[in-house]
Chain A
Amino acid sequence: MSDKAKEPLFSAKNKKLISDPLNDTNPVTIQVLGICSALAVTVQMKGAFVMSIAVLAVLILGNVIVSLMRNIIPPRIRIIVQLVVVAALVIIVDQVLKAYVYDASKTLSVFVGLIITNCIIMGRLEAFALGNKPWASALDGLGNGLGYGLILVIVSFFKELFGSGSLFGFPVFGDAAAGTGLYSIGYENNGMMLLPPSSLVIVAIIIWVQKARNPKLLEA
């Protein structure tokens, strides 16, 4: 500490920790992690939003806690320690969701508990928090959580818009049952968008667009 000048809180390096996962090293589209939840909880934007916040919270807190303990965790049992930390955090998040947004917690059902198996979280703990200081780890968790949430919100935007004709539950195209708005001229909601596989198609299109626009991502 003392032999090095104190690094500013938002140095260029630290800013990159947040900005990289949004594009160049996006956990979902580039590292292809956390796909299961991206398929499962994106039918409604609200669910995707709550899920993103939950994962973001677990990521930041998990990263900070493991980073604080990184020098006292014996390497041979580090996975178990990480699992205990993540499991505890997920239980807390689950209880908070049940207490304050009960409806969303109901629709997310088992997938809140399954945050524990989200590869992004264990991946960041292993790859980053075990070897970095708490503040950098927190930023890394924030960046990856935002990168994950960004993709989830984009996917759920298209799925809810075309699958249910609404955004955050508000009808955009008119009332399907009463046949008003777009529905009066023969438009119908796309039933495929309500099925999990359509998320794969949308994630694939996002990857396509991203790789076409970002020359750094071109494979040799």
Chain B
Amino acid sequence: MKFLRNIFDNAHAALNKSEKTKKFFPLVDSVDTLVFTPNHTTQKGAHIRDAIDLKRTMMFVILAMIPCLLFGIYNAGHWHYHALGEAGGYMDNFMSKLGIGAWYVIPIIAVSYAVGLGVEFIFAIKNGHAVQEGFLVSGMLIPLIMPVDVPLWMVAVATIFAVVIGKEVFGGTGMNIINVALTARAFLFFAHPTSMTGDNTWVAGIKDMKTDGTLVDGFSGATSLGDLAGAKSKYAEAAVALAKDKGEVVVAGLKAEGDAMATKAVSLMDSFWGFEVGSVGETSAFAALLGGAFLLWVGIASWKVMVSFFLGGLSIAGLLYAMGGNPFYEVDPIQQLMYGGFMFGMVFMITDPVTAAQTGTGKFFYGFIGGALGILIRMANPAYPEGVMLGILIANVCAPTIDHMVIRANVKRRMKRLKTA
């Protein structure tokens, strides 16, 4: 410890020697305060002492993401072997699955952190303030919501876009109005849709397997949501065919095709534990819930947001379930919520304290809007299976308005009380 302390003290002293190197102070300072608790104290005025600062908060969130990350690495390896037809049972080849998964996932993490922190350093040095800690969490969230097979340069471009446009233009950490990690994902989703959706991106190395024909027969590589959305489109085609009087056989054939696609979607238990293809860290609802329990226990995430987000999703899923009419709507509502990034978004995305609503009542509305819109976009529009991402971003944008209305309502209520008294 003493040895480490000395390194930082020497570095600070060396930088302070000349005016030219002084501006690189944030660089050393940020690493220093990451390793040691800073001993700065407030100069004047009363203040509350708390053991947890921004950096410690961020580290807790990263700790909460570790189950998702570890499972994601295993899952990436498992589906790589599965696509080759060599997966066997879940525990067979456990170490080599981890190895292959790490081989694909670690570079995404490295690129995300290197590029994101690089941008943060540039802005910190330019604006002359310490490097802010916000990117510690975003840098880990970005790899967890990327498909395994995404090209690394796309991760780099998306990270630059997210940090600059999503955060720095608003004034840096704590000032952003939309979630930084989701900005990166939304950017890639609209900029490079072929690398973010479809059959060719969710399994590590699937493009090569398809070209050399090593891909096992009958495995498409689409996510459960992709299959279900495909089934929904087939039913829509069947409805068109029916309206055009194409004959019972054609209609029944299209419906049968849709049903066949829908059966490829994984079961409730598999989607809960996470044994399905999908973005790196978001397949396992169980791992996300572990992290969520930890975040609630240390008091970083708000249970109000999480509960209302879940209820919002559940109500729309239940409503469309009651409506029925195609295999996508007829998925059991609880199972619907286990698919895709809904549980991951509930734990790590919608709860982001910066972009969430700040008032207690507002948090309920905010979470509910996010969950309801997320599931509505996912189910009603098959082109956007990533509805949860868009739902959360829309909720982010609405959060200040929700707060404003809650505060106005409060003022109105208290004014009324004042008059009657």
Q: Which residues of chain B from 189 to 214 have a CB within 8 Å of any chain A CB?
A: 190-195
CB-CB under 8 A from B190, the residues of chain A are 191-192, 195
Supplied contacts A186-B153, A191-B192, 20 more A-B pairs, CB within 8 Å:
A186-B151, A187-B153, A188-B154, A188-B192, A188-B194, A188-B195, A190-B191, A190-B192, A191-B190, A191-B191, A191-B193, A192-B187, A192-B190, A192-B191, A195-B190, A201-B165, A204-B165, A204-B169, A205-B165, A208-B169
B-to-A contact residues, CB < 8 Å: 151, 153-154, 165, 169, 187, 190-195
The total of interchain contacts (Cβ-Cβ below 8 angstroms) comes to 23
Report A186-215 residues with CB < 8 Å from chain B CB.
186-188, 190-193, 195, 201, 204-205, 208
**Complex: A195 Cα to B193 Cα, angstroms:** 13
Which single residue of chain B is at the shortest CB-CB distance from A185? Answer: B153
Nearest Cβ distance between residue B198 and chain A, in whole angstroms?
13
| A205 surroundings in chain B (CB, below 8 A) | 165
| A206 nearest CB across to chain B (Å) | 13
- Docked CA distance A169–B165 (Å): 29
23 A-B residue pairs with Cβ-Cβ distance under 8 Å, sorted by A, are A186-B151, A186-B153, A187-B153, A188-B154, A188-B192, A188-B194, A188-B195, A190-B191, A190-B192, A191-B190, A191-B191, A191-B192, A191-B193, A192-B187, A192-B190, A192-B191, A193-B191, A195-B190, A201-B165, A204-B165, A204-B169, A205-B165, A208-B169
Chain B residues closer than 8 Å to A195, beta-carbon distance: 190
Q: Within the assembled complex, what's the spacing in Å between the Cα atoms of A208 and B164?
A: 12
Closest to B193 in A: A191
The smallest C-beta distance from A35 to any residue of chain B, in angstroms, reads 18
Which residues of chain B have C-beta atoms less than 8 A from A190's C-beta?
191-192
In the complex, the chain A residue whose C-beta lies closest to that of B154 is A188
Chain A neighbourhood of B169, CB < 8 A: 204, 208
Size category of the A interface is 10 to 19
Report the minimum CB–CB distance from B186 to chain A (whole Å).
9
- Give Cα distance in the complex from A41 to B205, angstroms: 39
> Which A residues lie within 8 Å of B194 (CB)?
188
When chains A and B are docked, how far (Å) is the Cα of A208 from the Cα of B123?
14
Assembled-state Cα–Cα distance A186/B192 (Å): 12
Residues on A close to B: CB < 8 A? 186-188, 190-193, 195, 201, 204-205, 208
Q: Describe A's contact surface by its main secondary structure.
A: helix
Chain B nearest CB, measured from A163 CB (Å): 9
Considering only CB atoms, which chain A residue lies closest to B195 in the complex?
A188
Give the interface centre of A186, A188, A201, A208 by most chain B CB atoms within 10 Å: A188
Q: How far is the CA of A190 from the CA of B110 in the complex (A)?
A: 23
CA distance A195 to B187 in the complex (A): 12
A7 to chain B, nearest CB (A): 44
CB distance from A193 to the nearest CB of B (A): 7
State the CA gap A193–B193 with chains docked (Å).
Answer: 12
Q: In the complex, what's the smallest C-beta–C-beta distance from B108 to chain A, in angstroms?
A: 15
CB-CB under 8 A from A191, the residues of chain B are 190-193
- What 5 A-B pairs come out closest when comparing CB atoms? A192-B191, A192-B190, A190-B191, A191-B191, A188-B192
Distance in angstroms between the alpha carbons of A201 and B194 in the assembled complex: 22
**Chain B: which residue is nearest A201 at the CB level?**
B165
Query: In the assembled complex, which residues on chain B have CB atoms less than 8 Å from the CB atom of A192?
Result: 187, 190-191
Kindly state the separation between the CA atoms of A205 and B153 in the bound complex, as whole angstroms.
Answer: 22
Chain A residue at smallest Cβ distance from B164: A205
Nearest Cβ in chain B — how far from A43, in angstroms? 15
Chain A residues in 8 Å Cβ range of B192: 188, 190-191
Q: Which residues of B contact A201 (CB under 8 A)?
A: 165
Tell me the minimal C-beta distance from A112 to chain B in angstroms.
Answer: 28
CB distance from B329 to the nearest CB of A (A): 29
**Chain B residue at minimum C-beta to C-beta distance from A163:** B191
Alpha-carbon distance between A185 and B153 when the two chains are bound, in angstroms: 11
Task: Find chain A residues with CB under 8 A from B153 CB.
Answer: 186-187
Closest Cβ neighbor of A195 among chain B residues: B190
Chain B residues with CB below 8 A from A188, complex form = 154, 192, 194-195
Closest partner residue, chain A, to B165 (CB atom)? A201
A162, closest chain B residue (CB):
B191
A186 neighbours in B (Cβ, 8 Å): 151, 153
In the bound complex, CA of A192 to CA of B187 (Å): 8
Which of chain A's residues have a CB closer than 8 A to the CB of B195?
188
| Chain A positions within 8 Å of B151 at CB level | 186
Q: Across the interface, which residues of B come within 8 angstroms of A208, CB to CB?
A: 169
Query: In whole Å, how far is B196's beta carbon from the nearest beta carbon of chain A?
Result: 10
B111 → A minimal CB distance (Å)? 14
Q: Which residue of A lies closest to B157 (CB)?
A: A190
- Whole-angstrom distance between the alpha carbons of A191 and B165 in the complex? 18
The smallest beta-carbon distance between A32 and chain B, in angstroms, is 17
Query: What residue of chain A has the Cβ atom nearest to residue B169's Cβ?
Result: A208
Give Cα A204 to B193, complex, Å: 24
